[in-house]
């Protein structure tokens, strides 16, 4: 089969590899019908995730059809159409029982990490993928949910909701600033309204992203390339600062911006994947009673979010800006990697 192979920082290839096989009774093989590229994949390509080794099939998001199932699979069958969760859950370790499968102790991965697809085992940017612990790691799709809507439930929508909105402790009436209106930032914006925020301020350098942010729920937008943009955000809060600031980029400057925008007693929710050290200015923050949260998505909210998508209460298919055939994977990477030039949000890559 064909797959996107990582060959070290800056090196990738669309090449032939062996089709995956059932290895454990709880495995399934999924024909990948639609997949995508994540910002985390770009971090891998930069060398920011050293656990990813030469020869790994990348990708941790996808929608597909089960073609083979192990004898131990109980709730799924060949022919089922499924969402592939970015987090694999054994369902029985101490972390999975605590509803924290992001730190699953499964023997296939490094102890304490549930993100194994395209990281510690071969992933979804391929014609077929093996999914361990399929009963706990796949979600059967109801009729009427298309591939592009479902694809956003693999990772970015639950990531934005769990790590941005829930970890950010958003409450009714809060003013929330989302710094970074890329795919995950848009997912935060789209789901913040579920908890009753009064204002949702999207902050980004790209006016096209800010326009899309308004279409999915932002009440206000601020271009952070303009002089005095922080003052504009403060003006929306009578000078107090925002209740919740969500960092959705993964660079020091945006993390610093969140700590500067937050009011005393507020929460900074870090969602971005950081590849370099960030300075934590405790000399300024210690007196402000702020909370800073981090996290890797557990995807335990995917079933709830899927219900909202099925009822068109959430419309994440709007995030898809570019579409490619599976054999155009290299072109899709180039387009997504130059998002500022190509105006790419999320790409859908289908067979």
CA-CA-CA-CA torsion for 156, 159, 161, 163, nearest 10 degrees?
A: -150
CATH 3.30.9.10 at 157-293, yes or no:
no
CB-based contact 121:55 (threshold 8 Å): no
Q: Which fold has domain 2-155+298-350?
A: Quinone Oxidoreductase; Chain A, domain 1 (3.90.180)
In angstroms, rounded to a whole number, what is the distance separating the alpha carbons of residues 348 and 308? 21
For 5, list phi and psi in degrees, rounded to 5. -110, 135
pLDDT confidence tier of residue 275, bands split at 50, 70 and 90: confident
In angstroms, rounded to a whole number, what is the distance separating the alpha carbons of residues 104 and 268? 25
In angstroms, rounded to a whole number, what is the distance separating the alpha carbons of residues 130 and 117? 9
CATH 3.40.50.720 intervals, the chain? 157-293
pLDDT confidence tier of residue 33, bands split at 50, 70 and 90: very high
Q: If DSSP codes are grouped into helix, strand and coil, which group holds residue 245?
A: strand
Residue 112 has pLDDT above 80, yes or no: no
Helices and strands (H, E) in the chain, number of each type: 13, 15
CB-based contact 263:243 (threshold 8 Å): yes
pLDDT confidence tier of residue 151, bands split at 50, 70 and 90: very high
Single pTM value for the model: 0.94
CATH 3.90.180.10 intervals, the chain? 2-155+298-350
For 337, list phi and psi in degrees, rounded to 5. -70, -20
The pLDDT tens digits of the residues spanning 36-68 come to: 999 899 989 999 889 999 999 999 999 999 999
pLDDT confidence tier of residue 110, bands split at 50, 70 and 90: low
């Amino acid at each position: 089969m064909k797959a996107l192979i990582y060959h070290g920082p800056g090196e990738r290839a669309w090449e032939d590899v062996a089709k995956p096989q059932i290895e454990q009774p709880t495995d399934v093989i999924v024909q990948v019908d639609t997949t995508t590229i994540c910002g985390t994949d770009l971090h891998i390509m930069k060398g920011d995730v050293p656990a990813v080794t030469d020869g790994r099939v990348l990708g941790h998001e996808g929608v597909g059809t089960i073609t083979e199932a192990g004898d131990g699979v109980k709730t799924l069958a060949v022919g089922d159409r499924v969402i592939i969760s970015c987090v694999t859950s054994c369902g029985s370790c101490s972390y999975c029982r605590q509803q924290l499968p992001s730190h699953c102790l499964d023997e296939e991965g490094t102890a304490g990490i549930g993100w194994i697809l395209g990281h510690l085992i071969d992933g979804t940017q391929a014609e077929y993928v093996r999914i361990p612990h399929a009963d706990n790691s796949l979600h059967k799709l109801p009729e009427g949910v298309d591939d592009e809507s479902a694809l956003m439930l693999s990772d970015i929508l639950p990531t934005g909701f769990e790590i941005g909105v829930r970890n950010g402790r958003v409450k009714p009436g809060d003013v929330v600033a989302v710094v970074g209106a890329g795919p995950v930032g848009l997912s935060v914006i789209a789901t913040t309204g579920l908890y009753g925020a009064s204002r949702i301020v999207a902050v980004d350098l790209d006016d096209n992203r800010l326009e899309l942010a308004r279409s999915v729920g932002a009440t206000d937008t601020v271009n952070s390339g303009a002089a005095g943009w922080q003052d504009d955000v403060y003006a929306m809060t009578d000078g107090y600062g925002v209740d919740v600031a969500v960092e959705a980029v993964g660079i020091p400057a945006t993390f610093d911006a969140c700590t500067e925008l937050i009011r005393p007693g507020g929460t900074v929710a870090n969602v971005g994947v950081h590849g370099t050290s960030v300075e934590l200015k405790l000399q300024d923050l210690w007196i402000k009673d702020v909370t800073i949260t981090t996290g890797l998505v557990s995807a335990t909210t995917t079933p709830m979010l899927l219900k909202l998508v099925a009822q068109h209460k959430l419309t994440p298919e709007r995030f898809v800006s570019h579409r490619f055939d599976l054999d155009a994977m290299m072109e899709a990477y180039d387009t997504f990697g130059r998002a500022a030039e190509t105006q790419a949000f999320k790409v859908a890559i289908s067979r």
